[in-house]
Amino acid sequence: MHWPLWRVAVAERSMEPTLRPGDWLLVRRCVRPGRLLRIRPGQLVIARHPGRPGLLLVKRAARAERGCWWLESDNPAAGAVDSRQFGAIDAGLIEGRVVTRYWPLRRR
C-alpha cells in the first residue's frame, strides 16, 4: 500500500520559474490499484518517463488525448525532457498530482 501523500525534490530547471532545483513538493498519489488520479489541464504532475521508467519527471499536464496526456515544461529552453520529445504518455504513467511546494518557505 502507498501513502496518499509523497514528498518529491525538484532536481532540474525545466519548470522554472514555477519550480526551482531544491524545491520540495507535496504530491498526492492514487492509493487504489488500477485507479487513475483526476488530472486537469494546467496542473503539475509527477510522471514516469515512457522510455526510462526509473526516471521521474515534474511536468505540467497540458492536454488529454484519448487516455494519454501531453506533458510540457514551463522552461523548454533548459533542455527539458517532455512530450515534445517523447509524445503523449499513457495516463497510467502519471504517479501523482502536485499539491503544493512546501520548501523553501520563502523565495528571494
ω into residue 21 within 30 of 0, thus cis?
no
pTM exceeds cut of 0.85: yes
Residue 104: the pLDDT is: 86
Q: pLDDT 10s per residue in the chain (108 long)?
A: 567 899 999 999 999 999 999 999 999 997 777 778 899 999 999 999 999 989 999 999 999 999 899 999 999 998 889 999 999 999 999 999 999 999 887 776
Which amino acid is it at 49? H
Q: What is the pLDDT of residue 57?
A: 96
Start-to-end Cα distance in the chain = 38
Residues 6+ apart with CB under 8 A from 34: none
CA angle 91, 4, 47 (to 5 degrees): 30
Only one residue has cell 526551482, namely 20
Domains of the chain: 5-103 (2.10.109.10)
